[in-house]
Structure 1
Amino acid sequence: MKKTALFILLMIAMSTVNAQILTPVRWSYGFKKKSATEAMVFMKADIDEGWHVYSQTVKDGGPIKTTFTFSPSKEFTLVGKTIEPTPVTRNEKTFNMDVSFFERQVIFQQKIKLKNGKATVKGTLEYMTCNDQKCLPPEDLTFSIVIK
């Protein structure tokens, strides 16, 4: 009986901890074909109110900047660097420096040259999110975007 009661308490405690995991950023991916040999890949972050995601241009000594790493492929080549809209920049006391970030939503774009008119673009994304009270640990995500 004691083991059963302990098990039930443990399960309740674990579900409470699990329910407290914060996920203030949701990522989605897409593409738009410009021609048979060119496409634009989109990586979109929807960000909860009060939270922000950092720019790709954050200097050393600050928070973890958003970074996209594309897996090499024979199906496509990258054209230039991943672009982003103009971020908000302000001094953050936590880091004691000016930091650039995005609120609510941001769409990053990467131009690619298709070798055969279609490709599967794979890669990883590293980002960090903070609000005015705390920062969550950096997160690494993998993505795969099928371009037809």
Structure 2
Amino acid sequence: MKKIIFLSITLLLLSITAFSQILKPVAWSYAAKRTSPTTATLYLKATIDEGWHLYSQFVKDGGPVKTTFTFPSSKEYTLVGKTIEPRPISRFESTFGMNVGFYEHSVIFQQKIKLSSKSTPVKGTVQFMVCDDKQCLPPEDIDFTITVK
């Protein structure tokens, strides 16, 4: 009898685990390229699963959570301008009742920096939200480090 109960509980737990998948529809990758002895460009690439949308940095209030990059102050580098992005797809989304800029498949954001040393790690955080045609996932914060050589 104990074996049957143990087996039943084990099968129940395995079936729950199989159905409770954590959705991670965006994968981030990072790179840096020197543009001069004292400057570099950071590349922050989002690879987005089929059917999902990652939102622009320039979404108006009342819409989805916009993509935001945060770089803490450092003596090793300074930001040059703001993080740039390519032109997003723009479409009316009834969920938000407004036109919204977003990306599908992949997008590369770029941030120029001025360096005060030869090699430095650049740390930051990206906050973003993704939706598909049925659901939106809660905003997510991901810390990153990009080494500029």
Provide TM-score, normalisation by structure 1. 0.93
1:101 equivalent to 2:102? Answer: yes
Residue matched to 1:134: 135
Aligned-partner Cα distance in 1 for 2:5–2:76? 57
1:116 equivalent to 2:110? Answer: no
1:16 equivalent to 2:25? Answer: no
Aligned-partner Cα distance in 1 for 2:5–2:34? 60
Instruction: Report the alpha carbon displacement of residue 117 of structure 1 after superposing the two structures with TM.
Output: 2.0
Alignment deviations for residues 47-72 of structure 1 (CA, whole Å, 9 cap, x no partner): 11211100000011100000000122
Residue matched to 2:77: 76
Provide TM-score, normalisation by structure 2. 0.92
Instruction: Report the alpha carbon displacement of residue 36 of structure 1 after superposing the two structures with TM.
Output: 1.3
Instruction: Report the alpha carbon displacement of residue 15 of structure 1 after superposing the two structures with TM.
Output: 2.1
Aligned-partner Cα distance in 2 for 1:17–1:133? 18
1:5 to 4, 7, 16: 7
Residue matched to 1:61: 62
Residue matched to 1:125: 126
2:136 counterpart SS class = coil
Aligned-partner Cα distance in 2 for 1:110–1:6? 54
Alignment deviations for residues 43-99 of structure 1 (CA, whole Å, 9 cap, x no partner): 000111211100000011100000000122111000000000000111000000010
Gaps of 5+ in 2: none
Residue matched to 1:40: 41
Q: What is the identity percentage for the equivalent residue pairs of Structure 1 and Structure 2?
A: 56
Aligned-partner Cα distance in 2 for 1:77–1:65? 23
Task: Report the aligned-residue RMSD.
Answer: 1.4
What is the identity, as a one-letter code, of the residue corresponding to 1:50?
G
Instruction: Report the alpha carbon displacement of residue 107 of structure 1 after superposing the two structures with TM.
Output: 0.2
Sort the Cα spacing of 1:73 and 1:10 in 2 relative to 1 into closer, same or farther, 3 A: farther
Instruction: Report the alpha carbon displacement of residue 10 of structure 1 after superposing the two structures with TM.
Output: 4.6
Aligned-partner Cα distance in 1 for 2:53–2:103? 5
- Number of matched pairs: 147
